[in-house]
Chains A and B, each alone.
Chain A
Amino acid sequence: MSDTQKFDRADSRVRADDGLGGALRGFVDRMRSGDLGVLPVILGLIVIAVVFGTLNPVFMRPANLTNLLFDAAAVGLISLGVVFCLLLGEIDLSIGSMSGVASAILGVLWVNVGVPWPLAILAALGAGTITGFVYATLLNKFGMPSFVSTLAGLLALLGLQLYLLGNSGSINLPFQSFLIRFGQTMVMPGWLSYLVALIPGATIFWFGLKTRAQRAQANLSVPALSVLIVKAVVLTAIILGAVWYLNQGRGVPWMFLFFMGLVAGMEYVLTRTQFGRSIFAVGGNREAARRAGIKVERIRIYAFMLCSTFAAFGGVLAASRLASASRQAGTGDVNLNAIAAAVIGGTSLFGGRGSAWSALLGVLVIQAISNGLTLLNLSSSLRYMILGAVLAIAVIVDSLARQSRASHGRA
């Protein structure tokens, strides 16, 4: 069948970006119009690797990178949650406190009360879910802007955390338990890590082939096989390389794989389900979404509940990483690191644009900077200032890209 008879190739004004060259041309076009995608992040990671690697060779050692991944999982989960709020054009400023409360609940129930840890985790997650519900309800019923309600929540939750921990101030979690080993030492066996490293590329390839077959059958244009193969191969090569490098030291943390799994799951939810589509719609144009019959209030409830629940989960992982639930948990830079990670990863503060991957990529940047500065023995005062500057730059990039997209007519 000739190309012009296909549904989506009938209009002669559309350039058919077929094959590898076409894919490249489309990519350059998108960059130019301000649709930067993951490019700034990848560049950022390379710069970070070069700079910190030169300043302190320890930075790039496999063991340090494994350490970095252990640290990244907790903040990453918190960041994954806040993506849902940001996509709606809302924000949750209390995710740090929420994670602190969750770690306190875990510590109190598990150690002080003697509840089995899985149940204690469920209770902590439940507290997150309820908190998210409260924020969404304040917004839905009273029109309370989320940055106000969550700012109030930040303080209230911090108070709750201090109250739960009482005079002791800090609860040590049992070192020998699975949860603490999961947070501190458990890495994947080498062979398994290589096997798992093949999954993303294989998945892309498999579903790519299926989509191609479906499109061909439906008389739509079919993306070039070469592009698909290159994508899958490059991705697999990068992941295999990273896994091999990590295996030269301690290996790939199970906790990080767990985080990656959740990111992939949420990416599916955001891009392949009606719920995810509704989140983007509400974030893009709330009134249009409402008129299309989307129950905006319900979408908000789910998004805020997911956000706070992931924040609580991040708190649980942070507690297992530190083997303690303390007054400091979730305070300091946790809040802004998680939000900054999502923004650096490419989720817009203005709503309607972003992805679950942004949490993964962004948290790697944040954690790498944080880790590198710590290795340089810089005090936390300097670390805060530098991370603050990084966040500001990320927001500026987001703003500029938005303006550029607007002037290029790409939303």
Chain B
Amino acid sequence: MPADAPGDTSPILKLRGVTKTFGAVTALDGIDLDIHRGEVVALVGDNGAGKSTLVKILSGVHAKTSGTIEFNGAEVSIDTPGRAIDLGIATVFQDLALCENLDVVANLFLGQEVGPWRLNEVEMEVRAWKLLGELAARIPSVREPIASLSGGQRQTVAISRSLLLNPEIIMLDEPTAALGVAQTAEVLNLVERVRDRGHGVILISHNMEDVRAVADRIVVLRLGRNNGTFGPEATQEELVAAITGATDNSVSRRAQKRDAVTEGEVS
């Protein structure tokens, strides 16, 4: 756990009433969310709860329907992926979004190539190995097309890519879904390292053990709405109840209240 509570600074990212509709489907309905420096926020919820949609809105893939997003205190409109990257929001998408026909180096540096008019392949390759090394990635060759990599290897490439620009916030959408035991541990270590560098992390995962191991706060989405915020010490029952909505929400409401007090966030 970080020594100082993250609540004493203003959030890097502050969402208020973010709503997203796809035609008749309301994927997100009035989402509030704060991300502080040096904080890992886990976003959990059942399939279809809207987690990926939220990530896509913050990464400029989808436009929000309504609501406000503040970045470092100023309201921003993240209307393109390029805008999100410029702000310092890096994303590992659930569907990875890699170009199969390009090699690992080209994918890592896509859109951020060294030497736009004269690509510096040597420097890119060296930095690629270093980035992959941070994840203890097992990629035999960075000059193979992505198509020849396994699911787990692709996932490490996607995660490494998010670290390239030293972003302020990293969002990881189910990053460990295709990973083995050791790799999962590496990713969780990485999440902690990123947090300790003072960046904010949004982690989406279905594995409650992983979530509790690294998260400073656990935010539950259910059917596109906020359904409670928990500390890492929350019990499995509490989380499951909030995720599935199986029991009365008093449990989560209590947890939310307690969280709000400890974090000084009462608005």
Contact = CB atoms under 8 A, between A and B. Distances in A.
22 contacts: A7-B126, A8-B125, A211-B122, A215-B122, A218-B122, A220-B125, A273-B117, A274-B116, A280-B101, A281-B99, A281-B106, A284-B99, A285-B98, A288-B99, A291-B81, A293-B86, A294-B110, A352-B99, A353-B101, A408-B148, A411-B101, A411-B148
Interface in A266-306: 272-275, 277-278, 280-281, 283-285, 287-295
A218 B123 CA distance: 8
A293 B102 contact: no
B101 A292 contact: no
A247 B214 CA distance: 74
A141 interface: no
A8 to B, nearest CB: 7
Interface of B: 59, 61, 80-82, 85-86, 91, 93, 96-102, 106, 110-113, 115-119, 121-123, 125-126, 129-130, 138-143, 145-149
Contacts of B140: 11, 13-14
A292 B126 contact: no
Contacts of A14: 140-141
Contact of B125 (A7, A352, A406, A409): A7
A410 interface: yes
Given A274-B116, A274-B117, A411-B146, A281 B122 contact: no
A181 interface: no
A285 B106 CA distance: 13
A405 B100 CA distance: 11
Nearest to B109: A277
Contacts, number: 115
Contacts of A220: 122, 125-126
A265 B149 CA distance: 32
Contacts of A280: 99, 101-102, 106
B147 A410 contact: yes
A293 B81 contact: yes
Nearest to A214: B122
A6 to B, nearest CB: 9
Contact of A411 (B96, B111, B143, B145): B145
A219 interface: yes
Contact of A292 (B111, B125, B147, B149): B111
B141 A291 contact: no
Chain B interface main SS type? loop
A218 B126 contact: yes
A270 B180 CA distance: 37
Nearest to A213: B122
Contacts of B129: 7-8
A128 B49 CA distance: 50
A295 to B, nearest CB: 7
Contacts of B93: 291
Contacts of A7: 125-126, 129-130
A215 B143 CA distance: 14
Nearest to A288: B97
A284 B100 contact: yes
Contacts of B139: 11
B100 A291 contact: no
Nearest 4 A/B pairs, CB to CB: A411-B147, A284-B101, A274-B116, A7-B129
B110 A281 contact: yes
A295 B83 CA distance: 11
A277 B139 CA distance: 22
B100 A272 contact: no
B127 to A, nearest CB: 10
A291 B146 CA distance: 17
Contacts of B121: 211
A273 B91 CA distance: 25
B111 A278 contact: yes
Contacts of B130: 7
B119 A277 contact: yes
Interface in A212-240: 214-215, 218-220
Interface string A179-219: 00000000000000000000000000000000100110011
B156 to A, nearest CB: 13
Contact of A287 (B97, B106, B111, B138): B97
A218 to B, nearest CB: 5
A274 B119 contact: yes
A50 B139 CA distance: 46
